[in-house]
Amino acid sequence: MPLTQLFAEKTLQPKERTEKLSVWLLERTVPPDTLVAFAAGSKDPVKATCIESLEYVSKTDPEIITANALHFVLDCLCAKTPRVKWESARVIGNCIHLFPDDTKTAAQLLLANTQHPGTVVRWSAAYALGQILKLNTPHNKWLVPEAQAIASHEEKNSIRKIYLDALKKIKAS
């Protein structure tokens, strides 16, 4: 079933679409770059579902994510739709360790989402930034103070804890 048909099928629930896409990606039936090309030309709800399937796949098998797919989700961090932002941040958190040359750009883009009014967007940005911090790159020189400042001002304990846990892990190493 082509991607356009999958999204045109009205009997499918959104989660069912995500599951089908995830299976197709994991089975290599649909290459990630094909999904990215489709998502790039789609409206935000469809784009978010495509990115959600990339998020699931990146958690299960991060090597499936291509550089093109990573750059797509990096660009999506600047989207207006919160779901597009948070799904993108999760993909980045799951696979950034495979793309060390993109850690600085990812961190800079994620920092903008740390001030978002949406809790899930901030949580997802914290998750991805925490993963970048744990990589202990030279960027930690400027990223650690940023994370400390964000943690000190973050109102949600669940989000603050993500930063504090990442900071503890890099100090312990």
- Give me the CATH number covering residue 92: 1.25.10.10
Nearest alpha-carbon partner for 47 in 66, 27, 75, 24: 75
Segment holding 81, helix H or strand E: none
pLDDT at 172: 78
Residues in Cβ contact with 78 at an 8 Å cutoff, skipping those fewer than 6 apart:
109, 112
Average pLDDT over residues 25-34: 96
Query: Would you say 146 and 139 are in contact if contact means Cβ atoms under 8 Å apart?
Result: no
Cα separation, 158 vs 123, in Å, equals 8
Six token digits for residue 157: 């304990």
pLDDT at residue 42 greater than cutoff 70: yes
Q: What pLDDT is attached to residue 1?
A: 59
Contact of 110 with 89, CB cutoff 8 Å: yes
- Reported confidence tier of residue 44, pLDDT bands at 50, 70, 90: very high
Q: Is the pLDDT of residue 20 over 90?
A: yes
Q: What is the mean pLDDT of residues 129-153?
A: 97
> What rounded mean pLDDT belongs to the chain?
96
Structure tokens at 116: 């978002």
pLDDT-above-90 percentage for the chain = 97
| pLDDT attached to residue 36 | 98
DSSP, res 8: H
- Number of folded domains in the chain? 1
Statement: residue 173 has pLDDT above 80:
no
78-135 pLDDT tens trace: 999 999 999 999 999 999 999 999 999 999 999 999 999 999 999 999 999 999 999 9
The range of the structural domain enclosing residue 134 comes to: 3-172
